[in-house]
Amino acid sequence: MHEMSLCESIITVLEAEAARQSFSRVKHIWVEVGAFSGAEPESMKFCFEAVSRGTLAEKAVFEIITAPGQACCFACGDTVILNERFDPCPRCGSHQLQVTGGEDLRIRELEVD
Amino acid sequence: MCATCGCGSGETRIVPLNIGTDMDFKPMSCGHAAHAPGLARSRIVQIEQDILSKNDALAARNRAAFAAAGHFVLNIVSSPGSGKTTLLERTIRDLSATFPIAVIEGDQETSNDAERIKAAGAQSIQINTGRGCHLDADMVAKAYDELRPSPASLLFIENVGNLVCPSSFDLGEQARIVLFSITEGEDKPLKYPDIFASADIVLVSKLDLQPYLQCDLELIEENIRRVNRKARIMHVSARSGEGLEQWYGWLGNSARQRVA
C-alpha cells in the first residue's frame, strides 16, 4: 500500500505549487502512471480520494494516464513495448532487454482555481 | 451561458470589454456563486513533476552526507522472514574486527531486530514505521543523524520486509541488496519483478536448506536474469557460512573503493 504515501507526496507537491503558482483549489489532476512504476492505478485513485480530504484537492477529479512499458532490445536493436518486465522481446524473443520507459510516476497537469 | 460551468444556457449576457477591471459579480440565477461573465476562472497548469521528487531530493542529500562522512551504505530488501537480520548478525560477527558496522533497522513494530544487531556487536537504531510498508529517505535521514555511525563505517539499512513498496523509494544508498531465500520458490523474481529489477546484488540465501528443498538454482538465476541483466548474483548461507567469503570480498572491495 505504498500508493497511500505516493498520494501524500502528490498533495505535498500540489501545496508547494499552489503557493508558487497562486491557486487555491485543484479541480482536476492528470497523473502519469508507468506500467513499470510499481504503483497500481486503481489503488492510487482510492488512496487519493482518502488523503485529499480536507486539502486543496478535495473532490478533485483524479485522472490516470497510463504509460506503456518500453524497452530496447540488444539482440534485434528495436525499441519495443512490453506488458511485463520479464517478457521476451515481442519481435525476436530475446531477453536481452533494457527497460527505457514506463517507470515514471508524474503529475502532468492540473486544472486549478 | 456561463463559461465556468455551462449553467444558464440560453441567457443573453453582455460581456464587458474591460474584463478584470470593473465587473459586476452578481450571483447568478442558476444558484451558483458569482462567475466572471464570459471568463473561465479555472486554468490549466502544467507541472510535470515526479511524484517521488521530494523523496528523491532527500535521498540525494543522504547520499552526499554518507559520502562526506565516508560511510558505505547498503539498502537490504526482501520478503519478511528471508533472513536479513540473521545475515547481518553473521556479517557483523565475522567482519566487525575489520570494519566498524552500523545498522538502521526498519520494521512496522518492535525493536527486536535492533536488539539482535546490538547483541551481535554493532551500533544500531530502530525505525518503527507504524502503518508504513517501507522506509523513505526522510526516515533514514533522521535515524542516521541520531545513530551517528563511527567514521568509515559500513552502514546497512534493513528495510521493512516487503517485496513491493520499498522498490520505489531511494534512500540514498550506494547499492541495493535483494535477499532471496530458496524457500520462497524459483519464480519469485517473476512475481515481484520491480524489486528484482532495482537490485545491484541478489543474495540467494538459506543455501543450507538445499538438501531438503532441491531447488532449481539454475532456474532461479535464469528468472533473476529475465528482470535484471546486470545484478551480481551470489549464493550464501548465514547458518553454514557457505558463500560468505564472496559476499565479504565484495563488501570489503566496494567499501574501500567508495570510501577511499
Contact B193 A84 (CB under 8 A): yes
- A101-113: per-residue pLDDT in tens? 999 999 999 999 9
Q: Kindly report the three-state secondary structure assignment for every residue of chain B.
A: CCCCCCCCCCCCCCCCCCCCCCCCCCCCCCCCCCCCCCCCCCEEEEEEEECCHHHHHHHHHHHHHHHHHCCEEEEEECCCCCCHHHHHHHHHHHHCCCCCEEEEEEECCCCHHHHHHHHHCCEEEEEECCCCCCCCHHHHHHHHHHHCCCCCCEEEEECCCCCCHHHHCCCCCCEEEEEEEHHHCCCHHHHCHHHHHCCCEEEEECHHHHHHHCCCHHHHHHHHHHHCCCCEEEECCCCCCCCHHHHHHHHHHHHHHHHC
- B113-160: per-residue pLDDT in tens? 999 999 999 999 999 998 889 999 999 999 999 999 999 999 999 999
Closest in A9, A27, A110 to B51, CB measured: A9
Q: Which of residues 2-61 of A touch B (CB under 8 A)?
A: 2, 5-6, 9-10, 12-13, 17, 21, 23, 27, 31, 36-39
- The CATH number of the domain holding residue A14 is 3.30.2320.80
Give the start-to-end residue ranges of the domains of chain B: 1-44, 54-259
Shortest CA gap A42–chain B (Å): 16
Mean pLDDT for chain B overall: 86
Q: Which of residues 65-94 of A touch B (CB under 8 A)?
A: 84-86
Contact B42 A113 (CB under 8 A): yes
Q: How confident is the model at residue B6 (pLDDT cuts 50, 70, 90)?
A: very low
Measured between beta carbons, which residues in chain A are less than 8 angstroms from residue B194? 36, 38, 85
Q: How far is CA B39 from the centre of its chain?
A: 46
- A21-52: per-residue pLDDT in tens? 999 999 999 999 999 999 999 999 999 999 99
Q: Which domain holds residue A85?
A: 3-112
- A62-75: per-residue pLDDT in tens? 999 999 999 999 99
Architecture of domain B54-259: 3-Layer(aba) Sandwich (3.40)
Strand partners, B102: B123, B155
Task: Quote the pLDDT of residue B16.
Answer: 36
Residue in the structure block whose three cell numbers are 525476436: A92
Shortest CA gap B88–chain A (Å): 26
Shortest CA gap B229–chain A (Å): 7
Query: Of the candidates B163, B166, B124, B154, which has an alpha carbon nearest to the alpha carbon of residue B247?
Result: B154
Which residues, 6 or more positions from B238, have their beta carbon under 8 angstroms from its beta carbon? B83, B86, B87, B89, B90, B91, B205, B244
Measured between beta carbons, which residues in chain B are less than 8 angstroms from residue A86? 189-190, 193, 223, 226-227
Mutate to test the interface with A, among B51, B169, B198, B225 (most CBs of A within 10 A): B51
Measured between beta carbons, which residues in chain B are less than 8 angstroms from residue A110? 44-45, 47
- Domain tally for chain A? 1
Shortest CA gap A23–chain B (Å): 9
Closest in B42, B49, B223 to A13, CB measured: B49
Give me the mean pLDDT over the B200-219 stretch.
97
Closest in A10, A86, A109 to B45, CB measured: A109
Task: Quote the pLDDT of residue B40.
Answer: 59
